[in-house]
Chain A
Amino acid sequence: MNGTIQEAADTRRQAGTDLSFERLYEMYRGRVFSTACRMLSNRADAEDVTQDVFVKVFKKLKSFRGESAVSTWIYRIAVNACLDFRRRRRLRQAISLDEGIEVGSTPLSVTRLIESTLPRMAEGYRRVFVLHDIQGLKHEEIAKVLGITDGASKSQLHRARAFLRRELAPYLGDRHWVRGE
């Protein structure tokens, strides 16, 4: 699924039926849920947000004008839902990282290391890293999703990687070497 305008048109045409929504859910549930898991660092919260996202998608689907790709539109709803959730949650309690997501079973794989480090990354960097490096969005798409400039997206991505590299340096090659600034 490449999120083209044609795809958007197809989705809109089918929007009136429950089936098309179900199809949309099947196509995007992984992306939305994974993004929510990594942004919220909590699987149960990610389930709630995924519900919110798709309920919103369903309600707004008929008014979707296809001006942006469906994927960009859904990611925007997902990211905003995550931010809203965190905002509400912050009022109640700090996020418990102990309830975090289950990561892959490969011990000390780079992906596992990244997964375990993500919750400690600043929210702004994390959003861009998740969307760009993990979910594969382009900077122009991220700019639309987050309402920032392409340059800001690139800058945050580079800082996110810098943070990860610093954190993971002991496990990447020379275990005792962390590069100084």
Chain B
Amino acid sequence: MDQHCSEEVLSAYLDGDLESEAAGTAAEHIAECPVCRQALAQVRAIRDAAPAMEQFVPPERVWGAIRERLRSSHKRSINLARLFWVGVPALAAALLVVTLAGWLGQPAQDTVGAVVRVGRAPASGTASVSPEPDETEVADEAVREYREYVRGIDRAIDECRIALAENPGNARVLAVYSGASIDRQRAMDRFASEGQ
């Protein structure tokens, strides 16, 4: 071997990573070559010094910051869970309101109107006409539907209140709550005005 060992060969030789033939050739050369012997000694000095390099310890504030981040992350996950368990029922209730409103929307007015008409009927003397189906049955059905409608709104309102107690800033629940409250008030007003 006429040439000097390459840097990589010296390091590999030091770690015993060379194949036996290459290791033998390198060993022969290093034994005869003061330049490579010195280079090998330098690589060895670096390799042997490295494990003794200082192990740095992070300052206390790092542990404090980790704990704080984990704590706030935990809070966020709890809030998300609450949002799920409270928000989903609230939204379901809101959907129920919307569905009921859609279902009872125009017909509901007629139904309430029917109650009123029925209530007035005896006074105006039209009760004797006895339309089919029986007006009293229609009135009962209308009142039942009306009450069910209002109960649906009330359930939605209650769910919204619970959700808002947990998370007052939930804009979607606030919107549902506000809409449901308005719907309830309108229904009550309509029933009161029509019923007089």
Contacts and interface: CB of A to CB of B under 8 A. Distances in A.
A29 B11 CA distance: 30
Given A55-B70, A158-B8, A165-B39, A133 B50 contact: yes
A3 interface: no
Given A161-B47, A172-B45, A177-B38, A34 B7 contact: no
A47 B58 contact: yes
B123 interface: no
Interface string B26-62: 0000000001001101110111011111111111011
A97 interface: no
B165 interface: no
B56 A37 contact: yes
A158 B73 contact: no
Summarize A's interface: helix, strand, loop or mixed: helix
B66 interface: yes
Contact of B8 (A110, A134, A159): A159
A69 interface: no
Contact of B55 (A31, A103, A165): A31
A173 interface: yes
B43 A25 contact: no
Nearest to A58: B70
B69 A55 contact: yes
| Interface size class of chain A, counting residues whose CB lies under 8 Å from the partner chain | 35 or more
A166 B8 CA distance: 12
A161 to B, nearest CB: 4
Contacts, number: 120
B12 interface: yes
Nearest to A161: B11
Contact of A110 (B38, B45, B66, B73): B45
A77 interface: no
Nearest to A118: B53
Summarize B's interface: helix, strand, loop or mixed: helix
A34 B196 CA distance: 83
A134 B39 contact: no
Given A166-B7, A177-B38, A158 B65 contact: no
A11 B35 CA distance: 50
Given A154-B17, A165-B46, A114 B53 contact: yes
Contact of A161 (B35, B43, B58, B65): B43
Interface of B: 4, 6-12, 15, 17, 35, 38-39, 41-43, 45-47, 49-59, 61-63, 65-66, 69-70, 73
Interface of A: 25, 29-31, 33-34, 37, 43, 46-47, 50-51, 54-55, 58-59, 101, 103-104, 109-111, 114-115, 129, 133-134, 136, 154-155, 157-159, 161-162, 164-166, 168-169, 172-174, 177, 179, 181
Given A33-B58, A157-B11, A172-B45, 13 more contacts: A34-B56, A47-B61, A55-B70, A58-B66, A104-B53, A110-B45, A110-B49, A114-B53, A133-B46, A133-B50, A154-B17, A158-B17, A162-B11
A-B residue pairs, 3 tightest by C-beta = A162-B7, A133-B50, A158-B11
